[in-house]
Structure 1
């Protein structure tokens, strides 16, 4: 009898335990979640329960990251209605309505529910989204309610920030008042629809920071987010809704965007498993030029001193205030506009587009049509393409003063209206520059005629490249197999913006490397060999000859080369994430290299070396392999580069002599 009693007791315990353990992420109308109990998402990343922030004595229902040492709250339900004791409880009614009650009587927070539901279930998802759904229906389109539609101060992956254009419903972030009080402050972040949609950070009624226009690639204010190893993002704008959303490339990474009321910033954090802390990934606004309207109307901000300058064709409205660094009054036209007699436009490159509050948008017309439309409208002060992809399309026109403009390396062209005389002066300046350049060219040609023998030798070298006779003639069959394009110097110069400092990616042992974009839109990396680098014709021929033969996913691909006088350049495929050393030796970026990524990079380098040493037609020894010579593509796949020091061996050769010390 006693034995049966213990058996039944054990069975009851197992049944109860099984029921609890299978329902830790859900709550049904027959259940209560009291203070001290929690729901945990299925993968164990997020937890829902009652908590006390900072030094406060109040209790709130919230969601936070589980299994990390510091409690990081990402959502709060009763932000405006705190509980001053531990008698709070959460329940869901049969109608799908969610309630927070105190002492099982007083309702301190609740949701509205107009949808018809038969079997409502409250569930905490692995994304951190708290949803009400009907039974086992897991289609997100059918959720009755979700916390992602009512965010607090934090944006998580897959969460939308934007507006439902059919209902006018807004999803925006609102910062906590302080670390002890999660009630809403006056710092907000969301999409605004005055003119072209933009993401705007506000302090109360005042704009504090804006993202700039979405140009098809990204927001004009944040070009550095377009290619990063952590997340992808998108901006959707159609008849039904407009919203911003991002998603993680590696789902195991913990990443969040949060509003910091103390510093009035939008901050992005990534969790570092090694240090068990949140690492700051990016902030905005970051610097004076990010602050909204710092330079006033028609003023242009740049990260230099003085920070503000008037746009071309404009002058300070009040010189004394401007010279004392009070730029709030901005700038006015240097010469008055006269629409009837014909104004003109000046192109200013690499700009963050102005505030779109006073703008007009058309997605279909081209830039030429946009210019004509702006010229006919005397109130139009500037125009540009709406989208920069596929050569540019669409039209944006601005009316009245141009606000919140800044120079940035990855900005876009802006065409600004000026008086006819100012446009003509700008045109004449270009004519004078052309005359000076032509004179210089004539002088140089005369000088070249005096040194005809040098010119002839250089022309001979160029002809050799064009005839694909750049390589050693010992193996004609191999030379014929090489698929290497020969680029004109002018093509390379145009692609790199005349080797602009803004396009410089880094400095190698043999010279600088520049990013470029060919006319067809293909991104390239140009290695411009320094005359003092020590890499002579043999090393150059060696690198071209070797890389042209190599075909492997873990070796950088050579697209072509260029010889122009003493200039020697190699054109490679562009690696958006740069070299491995930029991640290994950077305290912030190294957190991106999780152990799984590090292992994948190690295996990729090993596969590349195995191909060089064993599987290629010639045995090739790199002799200069280091972290800076391992490049990472957009998916963090490693590719070995820089073969200037490499040596080839015969298939059965195991040693060789060298004439000088090289390598790392």
Structure 2
């Protein structure tokens, strides 16, 4: 097999031995506090005590950044004191001795050295050889680069010897303060001769992340293409497989580190500018990178899962609550009957190589024929994408760990084996009649014309039910229709005592149906401006938006001029009823607040990315977050109205000033919600007497000074999780950054909140840093805001 270069191979120059500050000979030893320093002053070797630990280790670190340790010798045998010494044994090995002169670590050199000398090279490699001045590889009988710990340096290789099976891999630290081998390792898996790197949980024998198979150009599931900073190199021949990387700019230093949480991170620093390390890449980088997160036969996309065509959820109830681990099963099994064929899944990370066969001599057409002849063949793909593609890789059994790969070159196509009837259903679906319902709203205040287009696919001529003058497709909506008398009785004739809110189009009442079920009854006012057609659209749209963190539509009523919607009733009213009340807020422990934050995020992710219609809320605030009896949050007021909706203090700058809204406008509002939930204080109405900042400005200043915890509600001091609170503050500030393009998408925001392994970027200054005049305040009291719960109206949807 010929060598396959991934890109330019980086050669690390060999530096001849000379006794200097970077060199250790037999005439000296190193004790705690003494070091070797590479000739260019980049690396330093010596004993160190990490963090809060009382143990000592021999290690190598960047001299300009002492906390960045890149190699540890005695990981398995730490020194219990600071009396360790680095010296030579009588056969020329480097050894670390403890207080009693017992060997706790040895280089175990490949040969006896008569005049040994160790040198710390500018590359960070500690080498051992004879003091002969030779620059050849043979001069080194041992080198630290052959024994990596948790960090890969530029010019350092991770190698698998295909003849001996010996492998160099990274092993994470046990914790930030404990360099001993931890729970995670980066290993090379060469199954079927298609290598891929995997982050594995060592003792549990499970995977956390995999790169995808080598496809002749790159690892199929990640982008490691050359970039302005690093030059990755992958070598593959008959004897070994190796990976390494170099750095293009001499002013840049880079490391690839597997941290103690099992996240592989590529760091870069420019020493001439600062000593701050920046994360360029990290794996897993999002929810979809986590191994097998969607279970079998499912594809991860934007932090949510969908079954491959021809498959359906094994446990639909679990999928409804975003638990995808059970995966998917075939809707109709294949049996090699006539008419069976393949469905293309494009731009996807290929499944893991569990039950597979590989024939490198087959072309794609031969691979297709072979798969269709075998009833057990689940899917196939080319194994090598070069020169138009070659090789036949076939899967048998379940397809595990697939994700959508957007905006990435050199990705592969998977061909899934389906039954004839499933293929017919797919063809029928693509030829369905498309009904386009144009929702056009004229915003009087801004003169802005908004057009939302909703698409419905109609398989056959549908049976329709007629309510007043409005025809609704019954197959489009499975919704109970109530008569007016029933709702009059349920709400005590719409009495003021039953009124619980005032929505955008009319009041909302607490209703008690004859079945004993409590509902929220939204009665559209006669001057609401909403016609029958708009009401129909609202019913159809809301009914299609089903998620555990959205308020559910239960039914509707039209009689004469009455137009009424029925929603779930929320026992615990709205979030603002609790969060801003001194006594009620005591019920919201940190654990409960954190769960509320995650629930809101999941509901918003559904509206933005996973619903059939993409919905921008435009008025996300505490009074529009309703709480059920278990304090689970449900978003209300999602949908469409005829006015520029929103509340000052929650509105993004570009929306409040120019009427421009987007998904990032909702992200801004979510960030404000986060800060209010953490602090228990309103953004509007909060002021810092000395600086006249609102809550947002106050949070920014505290975070900038490293005092983020000071924003936290005092009642949380006995229940809070420091890491979670600090991450939530930082994510909140990332979401409220002034410019929309700087704010994260919802899937990233969720990942950053729930995954402590993610390294968060630094937020920039937020919008609305200073407090505005009080005349712009919404002026709502806690009592007044509580009247808005269960009020639901629609913001502008966009057809996917």
TM range (shorter): 0.5 to 0.7
Give the corresponding residue for 2:104: 108
Partner of 2:234: 235
Instruction: From 115, 120, 125, give the equivalent of 2:121.
Output: 125
> Are residue 36 (structure 1) and residue 33 (structure 2) matched?
yes
Q: For 1:501-527, what per-residue CA distance to the aligned partner results, in whole angstroms no more than 9, with x for missing partners?
A: xxxxxxxxxxxxxxxxxxxxxxxxxxx
Give the aligned partner of residue 684 of structure 2. none
**Residues 328 and 76 from structure 1, CA distance in 2 versus in 1: closer, same or farther, beyond 3 angstroms?**
same
- Gap change, CA 1:362 and 1:29, over 3 Å in 2: farther
Indicate how the Cα distance of structure 1 residues 69 and 162 shifts in structure 2: closer, same or farther if over 3 A, else same.
closer
Q: Could you tell me how far 1:301 is from its partner in structure 2?
A: 0.6
* Equivalent-residue separation in structure 2 for 1:75 and 1:33 (angstroms): 17
Selected match of 2:264 from 260, 266, 269: 266
Are 2:18 and 2:133, in contact at CA under 8 Å, matched by a contact in 1? Answer: no
SS state of the match for residue 217, structure 1?
coil
1:92 is matched with: 88
CA gap of 1:358–1:143, structure 2 versus 1, over 3 A, is: farther
2:383 — aligned with what? 386
2:245 match: 246
C-alpha displacement of 1:209: 0.8
Matched with 2:215 is 215
How large is the Cα RMSD of the aligned pairs? Answer: 2.8
TM-score by length of 1: 0.58
Once the two structures are superposed, the pairs formed by residues 166-565 of structure 1 within 5 Å of their partners are 166-195=163-192, 196-204=194-202, 205-223=205-223, 225-262=224-261, 264-273=262-271, 274-303=273-302, 307-339=304-336, 343-409=340-406, 410=408, 411-426=411-426
Any gaps of 5 or more consecutive residues in structure 1?
A: 1-19, 434-584, 588-664
Q: Structure 1 327/214 Cα, relative in aligned 2: closer, same or farther at 3 Å?
A: same
Runs of at least 5 residues in structure 2 that lack an aligned partner in the other structure = 1-16, 434-740, 744-800
- The Cα of 1:120 is off from its aligned counterpart by 3.5
SS of 2:288's equivalent in the other structure is: helix
Q: Deviation string for 1:146-198 (max 9, x for gaps)?
A: 21221111111122224111211121111111222111111111212334321
Shift of 1:142: 6.0
Contact (CA 8 Å) 1:99, 1:109: kept in 2 or not? yes
> 1:313 and 1:114, CA in 2 relative to 1: closer, same or farther beyond 3 A?
same
- The Cα shift of 1:266 comes to 1.2
Is residue 256–residue 267 contact of structure 2 (8 Å, CA) maintained in 1?
A: yes
* 1:133–1:145 contact (8 Å) kept in structure 2: yes
Change (3 A) 1:399 1:154: same
Deviates further, 422-431 or 247-256:
422-431
Q: Give the number of the structure with larger relative contact order, counting CA–CA contacts within 8 Å between residues 6 or more apart.
A: 2
Q: What secondary structure does 1:421 align onto? A: helix
Secondary structure, aligned partner of 1:368: helix
Q: Post-superposition shift, 1:300?
A: 0.7
Partner of 2:157: 160
Separation in structure 1 between the aligned mates of residue 102 and residue 116 of structure 2, nearest angstrom: 22
- Contact 2:226–2:232, Cα closer than 8 Å, also in 1: no
For residues 376 and 134 of structure 2, the distance between their equivalents in structure 1, rounded to whole angstroms, comes to 54
Change beyond 3 A, Cα 1:255–1:185 = same
TM-score by structure 2 length? Answer: 0.49
- The CA deviation at 1:229 is 0.6
Counterpart contact for 1:259–1:267, Cα < 8 Å: yes
Structure 1 match to 2:146: 149
The Cα of 1:344 is off from its aligned counterpart by 1.9
Relative to structure 1, the CA distance from residue 424 to residue 296 in structure 2 (aligned partners, 3 Å threshold; closer, same or farther) is same
Equivalent residue pairs, number:
413
Separation in structure 1 between the aligned mates of residue 331 and residue 142 of structure 2, nearest angstrom: 56
Post-superposition offset of 1:424: 4.6
Instruction: Look up the SS of the partner of 2:215 in the other structure.
Output: coil
**Quick one: structure 1 residues 364 and 86, their matched pair in 2 at CA, closer, same or farther if it must change by over 3 Å?**
same
Distance across 1 between alignment mates of 2:155 and 2:260: 24
> 2:191 aligns to what SS in structure 1?
coil
1:32 CA drift (Å): 2.1
Contact map agreement 2:251 2:270 (CA 8 A) in 1: no
Distance change >3 Å, CA 69–CA 211, structure 1 → 2: closer
Instruction: Assess if the C-alpha contact under 8 Å between 1:350 and 1:407 holds in 2.
Output: yes
Distance 1:342 1:125, change over 3 A: farther
* 1:185-240 alpha-carbon deviations (Å, 9 max, x no partner): 111112123343211112232211111122233222222x3142101112222221
CA distance 1:107–1:302, change in 2 (3 Å): same
The separation in 1 between residues aligned to 2:115 and 2:383, in whole angstroms, is: 47
CA distance in structure 1 between the partners assigned to 2:39 and 2:179 by the alignment: 27
Shift in Å, 1:97:
2.2
Render the CA deviation track for 1:550-601: whole Å, top value 9, x for unaligned: xxxxxxxxxxxxxxxxxxxxxxxxxxxxxxxxxxx999xxxxxxxxxxxxxx
